[in-house]
Each structure stands twice: as C-alpha cells, then as structure tokens.
C-alpha cells in the first residue's frame, strides 16, 4: 500500500525533477523435483514481480533523488506475496561529503559464498536462500572522502524484521516461523536506533574495509511457541549485538584473493567467523572470447553445531563463465561441501539477454547426502529449478 501511494505521489513531481524511469517486470516459475517433506507445502508455483525505479536531480546535480519499489504476487503461495520500498532516497553532495537520507539498500563485503560483514540491510527471506535480496533500510548516511580513506557514518532508525516462508512455502524447516509474534531484547523493539561505521581505502592492489555495527541483530534466534490456533511454531527473537568486521580484496595478476571476518557479541553467545579464498581467471579458453574464473573459499564459524548455520566448516568451489558475447551470457556454478559430514549443496545460476529488453535467468539448486543433524536436513527434498523471464524498460 505504501508503495502504491508513493507511486501516485510521483505523478505530482514537477517534470523538470524527473530524469529517468526504469525497472523490470518478470514472470517466474519455481518447480521442485521431489514431493514436499512437510504438510501443505507446494510442488510448484508461478509468480509475477514488478520493480520500477524513478530518479531525478536538481540544484545543478548537487541534489538527487531516487525511488525503487518491489512487488511480487504468487498464484499459490501467499507467503511469497509481498511489497517493499527498496529505495526512497535523497542524496546531497557537498564537496567531499555525501548525505543520503531516506530508505536505501547497500552492500558490504567481497566474498562469493557468504557475506559476513554485510549487516546494514535485512534479508528478504522469501526471495531465496542465498541472502542476496535485501529489504530497504531507513537511514541517515554520511560518506566523507579523504586522501587517507573513505568514512561512512550511519544512523539506522527503524528495524526491518526478516521475512520467512509461510505454511505452504518450500525451503523452510518443519515448523513455520510466526512473523506475527516477534520478540526483542530491547524494550524499543522495532523503534531501536542502530549505528554503523566503516572505513575503506585502496592501497595499490589491495582494497580493505573495517566496519563496526551496534544495534539489533539481523539474524534472529528461534524460540518455541504456538500460534492463535495452538499449532507449534517458531518465534523470532532479535537480540542486540555488537560486530566488528574486516573485508579485504587483493588483485594480483590473474588472481583475486578475498577475506571477510567478524567478531560478533550478543547476550546468547560470542561469534568468531571468517571466509577466505581466491578466484583465478583463465582468459580466452578454448581460443574463444570466453573467460573462466575458478573460485575456492573456506568458511569457519566457532559457534556450536546447530547454531553455526550453513557455513560452519565448509568448502565452496565453483566456476564463473563469462561468454563476453553481445547477449551478456554468464553462468556461475558452485558446490558447498560440509567438511564434517560431507553433505553437499550444488547451485547453478545463469543469465542471458534476448534482444534489447529481455533477460532470461536460470537457477538450479540440488542438496545431496545431507546429514540428519545438519541445518540443511529440512531442505533435503527441496531440489528445484527456477526459470525467470524479465522485460526491462
């Protein structure tokens, strides 16, 4: 509703302030190869998404604004139907300072398999399990450019709760997460104000970032509970946390070395975790225009088994194929191997443009030999193929 109201308000913006209108509308098909593991789960569904964006400027380019929305409707799974303001932002440039006020989506981090230091925006959990899709975050953001580095100061008023699959949704656990009963460590709840700082700089071929965050943990704990009908559910509990993070990327000839590490403190536990690895690119393979980037990363998390999530002591190996053709064809394939129990998760993502305005996307996810005690055990029947065709304007 909020997105629709703002879209209508945009019609009243003076034409001289509007510089562009873009976005996409996409049809997505999601199909599972095995019967559902839990009751009421679907085997397939069809969705339509719409992501428009407006932007403009005034004051000779010193002030800019942008608005981006996302809406998805589903033919069967009501849990995937949602709308969000990804961006609703005013940007003011004043010399070496940039002020951003409003709702924004930003990204920190460098590694491929997971993003440990990326804590500003909340994950949009119904859009996928890879954590790449984010909910818009209200913020006041000052970026200062100095000769010795770049400083980011962020005030984050208003917490965004994570989205989760509904009863009929796949890629969930045996118990549904009841998003209607969230609990918070802070008495301020969603009104708690978070803070973040980041320093970043480039030294020759080395990019480095140091970050600090204090506020509501984007990753909830799950407490046993019941819904209004007496059914057993999980209640998301959001603790307060402090996190220190480091991300670094070194480019040396055809090698790219990447590192992310964090130290996170919460009431329930202290977490130390890192992801480290490399990407080596072979150019012009088979005497063609195609490049192949080979990727290997190892992740470690010191939390006990069952609390550490997917990447506790896991190895990720993959390949990135860039065809360098007129259609911008690309494929990323990756295999995650649990070094403790040898469980595996294989994923392929591919994309190709058709004509000037269309793009096709493919995602294939396969789970294999998952241990019954593994966090992925609930997904062992959820091998799936996602196909999407999007029109860009």
Residue 123 per-residue DSSP state: B
Burial 166-204 (b: 16+ CB within 10 A, else e): bbbbbbbbeebbbbebbebbeeeeeebbbebebebeeee
Question: Tens of pLDDT along 326-369?
Answer: 999 999 999 999 988 888 999 999 999 999 999 999 999 999 98
Give this prediction's pTM: 0.91
CA distance 199 to 96: 15
Distances (CA, A) of 184 to 177, 191, 239, 265: 15, 11, 6, 16
Residue 130: pLDDT band with limits 50, 70, 90: confident
Q: In what helix (H) or strand (E) does residue 10 lie, and over which residues does it extend?
A: helix 2-10
CATH number, domain 2-392: 2.40.160.10
- Where is average pLDDT lowest: 39-43, 173-177, 186-190, 374-378? 374-378
Query: Residue 3: its pLDDT value, please?
Result: 47
Question: Tens of pLDDT along 223-264?
Answer: 999 998 899 999 999 999 999 999 999 999 999 999 999 999
Largest CA distance in the chain: 64
77, with CB counted inside 10 A (0-12, 13-18, 19+), is buried
Dihedral angle over CA of 229, 230, 231, 234, nearest 10: 110
- Matching residue, tokens 């209607």: 180
Residue length of the chain: 393
Q: Do residues 32 and 44 touch, judged by C-beta distance below 8 A? A: yes
CA distance 200 to 151: 7
Q: Where are the domains of the chain?
A: 2-392
Percentages of the chain per state (helix, strand, coil), in multiples of 5: 5, 55, 35
CA distance 165 to 179: 10
């Amino acid at each position: 509703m909020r997105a629709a109201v703002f879209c209508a308000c945009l019609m009243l913006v003076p034409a001289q302030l509007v510089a562009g209108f873009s976005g996409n509308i996409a049809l997505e098909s999601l199909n599972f190869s095995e019967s559902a593991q839990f009751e009421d789960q679907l085997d397939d569904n069809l969705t339509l998404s719409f992501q428009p964006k407006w932007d403009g400027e005034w004051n000779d380019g010193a002030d800019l604004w942008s608005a981006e929305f996302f809406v998805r409707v589903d033919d069967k799974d009501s849990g995937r139907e949602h709308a969000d303001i990804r961006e609703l932002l005013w940007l003011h440039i004043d010399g070496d300072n940039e002020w951003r006020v409003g709702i924004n989506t930003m990204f920190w981090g460098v590694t491929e398999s997971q993003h440990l230091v990326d804590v500003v925006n909340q994950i949009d959990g119904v859009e996928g399990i890879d954590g790449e899709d984010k909910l818009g975050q209200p913020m006041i953001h000052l970026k200062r450019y100095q000769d010795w580095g770049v400083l980011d100061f962020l005030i984050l008023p208003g917490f965004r709760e994570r989205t989760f699959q509904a009863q009929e949704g796949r890629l969930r656990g045996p118990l549904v997460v009841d998003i209607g009963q969230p609990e918070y460590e802070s008495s301020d709840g969603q009104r708690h104000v978070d803070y973040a700082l980041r320093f970043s700089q480039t030294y020759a071929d080395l990019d480095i970032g140091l970050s600090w965050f204090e506020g509501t943990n984007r990753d909830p704990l799950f407490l046993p509970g019941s819904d209004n009908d007496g059914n057993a559910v999980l209640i998301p509990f959001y603790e307060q946390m402090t996190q220190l993070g480091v991300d670094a990327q070194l480019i040396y000839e055809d090698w790219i070395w990447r590192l992310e590490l964090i130290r996170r403190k919460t009431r329930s536990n202290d977490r130390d975790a890192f992801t480290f690895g490399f990407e080596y690119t072979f150019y012009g393979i088979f005497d063609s225009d195609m490049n192949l980037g080979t990727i290997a990363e190892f992740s470690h998390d010191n939390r006990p088994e069952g609390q550490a999530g997917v990447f506790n002591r896991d190895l990720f190996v993959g390949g990135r194929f860039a065809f360098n053709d007129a259609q911008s064809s690309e494929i990323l394939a990756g295999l995650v191997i649990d070094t403790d129990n040898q469980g595996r998760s294989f994923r392929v993502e591919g994309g190709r443009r058709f004509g000037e305005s269309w793009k096709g996307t493919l995602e294939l996810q396969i789970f294999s030999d998952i241990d019954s005690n593994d966090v992925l055990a609930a997904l062992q029947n959820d091998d799936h193929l996602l196909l999407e065709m999007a029109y860009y304007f």
